[in-house]
């Protein structure tokens, strides 16, 4: 089978930055990666199309009238991320389709491999954009077209610059009734498989998450003259709020993260007048996540009242927790066992495009062990050649033995 790790390294060279691996939506590096993926799909014998959002989809026909098993993941990245997040779930299915074609074997169902153009959403602060557009068309995208990236370029102009038409977003829609299942292979992005000495895992469910933009408004002032009791310092209030997120999530044994914080007109000798930050909250089930959200926001209000600042919260994104279908878990487990590995079952704390598909079709996922202590969203993310090759064999088996329900 194709050497997936060499291909991941090759794809990793398409980066927005010469200093690290950063590939954000619709940049020249992103488009070069899309062309490379399309070339590998063609080489594997697939018919290739690029959809209205820039996702690349390869197709391999099955028996006449058969529905389609859609296998996908994303090829955008976080800033200074790891080269396997998303990419592994594109390259391994391409390798498997190529292998079937080399053997002259027709798969038991039609196969499609989707390389989603935007999942992380680092450039326009979107999330799961490309998979959402496949199911919801323009409805989920239109409202975002005026968003600007850090250089002031709008999403709509970024689309036009690469030849995509923001007036034709609906053309990204697929017909989900033609799918028999959605499957995603992904690096685990955590330490569980590593800790258990297992190379591959069967994902049982995917944690739900919400992301919020919080703005704290106090009063800008002179750092040298305003006495401490008279300040309405947006930065100090925001700092207390960040710690409240950490404290509440830890108490509830869930996860909460403030990953971005910006001080408007921030200067060393000015008391901060306005601070914006993100809050990312996740939980295995939606009621617990909503309870966490309520508690965090009540604390924000109390902190703001005590400090004489105003706080606004706006939900930028929410995705419900998604179970993986039992019948797909069974087939993933059987495929893993067939290559002599132990099919460890585990939930996913990270979000995946599979969550979007879970609303309309049964979804299944396989995890591949993450090296280096399980770090991900970090350039130290690694996968061993042995694990990648075992994953390729297990995926080949999964596809050849696949039985739609
Ligand atoms: C995707 O990487 C996520 O935020 O879980
Ligand atoms: Mn990621
Ligand atoms: Mn990912």
The pLDDT assigned to 2 comes to 75
* Residue nearest atom 3 in ligand 1 by C-alpha distance: 351
Query: pLDDT at residue 233 above 90?
Result: yes
Domain that includes residue 245, residue range: 208-319
Give the whole-angstrom CA distance, residue 27 versus residue 73.
Answer: 19
The bound ligand whose nearest atom lies closest to the alpha carbon of 376 is: 2
| Nearest protein CA to atom 1 of ligand 1, as residue | 351
> With a 6 A CB cut-off, is 349 part of the ligand 1 pocket?
no
Q: Is the pLDDT of residue 140 over 90?
A: no
Contact (CB, 8 A) for 376 and 190: yes
Cα 327 from chain centre: 24
Residue 111 has pLDDT above 90, yes or no: yes
Q: Which residues of 172-199 are buried (b: 16+ CB within 10 A; e: fewer)?
A: bbbeeeebbbbbbbbbbbbbbbbeeebb
CB-ligand 1 contact for 351 (6 Å cutoff): yes
Question: Would residue 405 count as lying in a domain?
Answer: no
Same domain membership, residue 327 and residue 201: yes
Selected residue with higher pLDDT from 2 and 169: 169
Closest ligand by atom to 82 CA: 2
Nearest CA residue ID for atom 4, ligand 1: 351
User: Which of the 8 DSSP states describes residue 395?
Assistant: H
- If asked whether residues 346 and 313 sit together in one domain, one would say no
Residue 1: predicted pLDDT: 79
Tell me which residue of 91, 67, 136, 181 sits closest to 395, measured CA to CA: 91
What distance in angstroms lies between residue 120's CA and the mean position of ligand 2's atoms? 6
Closest CA to 113 of 204, 15, 43: 43
368 φ/ψ sector (left φ>0, alpha ψ -120 to 50, else beta): beta
Residue 122 has pLDDT above 90, yes or no: yes
CB neighbours of 222 closer than 8 A, spacing ≥ 6?
269, 270, 271
- For 314-373, how does the pLDDT look when each residue is reduced to its tens digit (9 = 90+)? 999 999 999 999 999 999 999 999 999 999 999 999 999 999 999 899 999 999 999 999
Examine the fold and report which residue of 298, 319, 340 is the final residue of a domain before the chain moves on: 319
CA–centroid distance, residue 350 to ligand 2 (Å): 7
* Domain total in the chain: 2
Whether 217 and 151 share a structural domain: no
Q: Output the CA torsion sign for 101, 105, 110, 116.
A: negative
- H runs (alpha helix) in 72-220: 88-103, 129-136, 155-161, 192-196
Ligand 1 contact via 120 beta carbon (within 6 Å): yes
- Decide if 245 is inside a domain: yes
The closest alpha carbon to 402, from 362, 372, 370, belongs to 362
Mean pLDDT of 87-100: 98
Does 174 have pLDDT greater than 90?
Answer: yes
pTM over 0.85: yes
Atom of ligand 1 nearest to the CA of 85: 2
Distance CA 140, CA 316 (A): 12
DSSP line for 153-180: -BHHHHHHHTT--GGGGGGG---GGGEE
- Give me the CATH number covering residue 49: 3.40.630.10
Q: Answer whether 130's CB lies under 8 Å from 173's CB.
A: no
Co-location of 312 and 361 in the same domain: no
Distance CA 366, CA 350 (A): 13
Identify the pLDDT of residue 359: 87
Q: What is the pLDDT of residue 280?
A: 97
Residues forming a β-bridge with 50: 56
- The reply to whether 27 and 157 lie within a common domain is yes
The string of DSSP codes covering 275-294 is: EEEEEEEEESSHHHHHHHHH
Which among 303, 319, 335 is the end of a domain? 319
For residue 66, is pLDDT > 90? yes
Sign of CA dihedral 150, 154, 157, 162: positive
CATH number at residue 277: 3.30.70.360
Q: Which atom of ligand 1 is nearest to the CA of 189?
A: 2
């Amino acid at each position: 089978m194709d050497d997936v790790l060499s291909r991941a390294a090759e794809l990793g060279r398409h980066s927005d930055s010469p200093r690290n691996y950063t590939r954000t939506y619709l940049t020249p590096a992103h488009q070069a990666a899309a062309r490379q993926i399309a070339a590998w799909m063609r080489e594997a014998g697939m018919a290739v199309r690029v959809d209205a959002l820039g996702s690349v989809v390869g197709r391999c026909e099955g028996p006449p009238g058969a529905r389609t098993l859609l296998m996908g993941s994303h090829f955008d990245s976080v800033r200074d991320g790891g080269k396997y997040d998303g990419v592994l779930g594109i390259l391994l299915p391409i390798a498997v389709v190529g292998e079937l074609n080399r053997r002259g074997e027709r798969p038991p169902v039609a196969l499609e491999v989707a390389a989603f153009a935007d999942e992380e959403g680092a450039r326009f602060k979107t999330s799961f954009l490309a998979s959402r557009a496949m199911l919801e068309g323009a409805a989920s995208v239109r409202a975002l077209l005026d968003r600007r990236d850090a250089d002031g370029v709008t999403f709509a102009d970024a689309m036009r610059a690469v030849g995509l038409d923001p007036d034709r977003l609906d053309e990204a829609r697929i017909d989900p009734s033609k799918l028999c299942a959605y499957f995603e292979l992904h690096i685990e992005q955590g330490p569980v498989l590593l800790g258990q000495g297992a190379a591959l895992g069967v994902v049982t469910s995917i944690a739900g998450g919400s992301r919020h933009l919080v703005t704290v408004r106090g009063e800008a002032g002179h750092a040298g003259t305003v006495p401490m009791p008279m300040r309405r310092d947006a930065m100090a209030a925001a700092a207390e709020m960040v710690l409240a997120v950490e404290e509440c999530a830890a108490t509830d044994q869930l996860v909460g993260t403030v990953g971005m914080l910006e001080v408007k007109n921030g200067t060393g000798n000015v008391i901060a007048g306005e601070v914006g930050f993100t809050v990312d909250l996740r939980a295995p089930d939606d009621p617990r996540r909503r309870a966490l959200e309520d508690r965090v926001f009540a604390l924000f209000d109390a902190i703001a009242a005590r400090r004489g600042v105003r706080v606004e919260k706006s939900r930028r994104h929410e995705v419900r927790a998604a179970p993986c279908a039992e019948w797909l878990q069974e087939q993933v487990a059987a495929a893993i066992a067939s290559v002599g590995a132990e099919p460890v079952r585990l939930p996913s704390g990270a979000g995946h495009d599979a969550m979007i598909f879970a609303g309309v079709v049964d979804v299944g996922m396989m995890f591949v062990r993450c090296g280096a202590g399980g770090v991900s969203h970090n350039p130290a993310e690694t996968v061993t050649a042995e694990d990648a090759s075992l994953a390729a064999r297990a995926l080949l088996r999964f596809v050849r033995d696949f039985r739609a329900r």
